[in-house]
Amino acid sequence: MTTSSRTATPMRRIVAGVLAGVAALALAGCVGGSRSGSDQPGVDNTVTAAPNQPLKTSISSSSEKDLAAALRTNGVDDPENWAHILVQYKPYPAGAEGTQKIQQVLQQFKASPEVAAKITNAVQP
């Protein structure tokens, strides 16, 4: 055996080991798949709030479609219409002043007390 053939075998083993390690890492990254989001069947994508804290959607930072989804989830009748109305009156200031503006908009459009309660439980300024 020559010197070059003796060093070739350990070098091949090192290269093979490194390649095997890289392949293992690549496969490990693929195990979970690359898809994310709510379109995966069987995935529970519900978002939960802290105990006793209702989960609210921000009118100021949400699209009309997202607001309608939040209102629909909270049992509001005709959520698309109410989302459209709320979006038309943007911007809403933060805090109590914004909450008051939401209530004024709901009164202006004659929301029943039940509907107004469902909406204010689902959204925030």
Q: Output the pTM of the full model.
A: 0.57
Q: How far, in Å, CA of 62 to CA of 44, rounded? A: 22
Between 105 and 35, residue with greater pLDDT: 105
Mean of the pLDDT values across residues 49-61? 72
Q: How far, in Å, CA of 40 to CA of 25, rounded? A: 24
Range name among 20-29, 82-91, 112-121 with the lowest pLDDT average: 20-29
E strand or H helix that includes residue 102: helix 96-108
Write the burial class of residue 72 (CB in 10 Å: 0-12 exposed, 13-18 middle, 19+ buried): middle
Q: How far, in Å, CA of 21 to CA of 43, rounded? A: 31
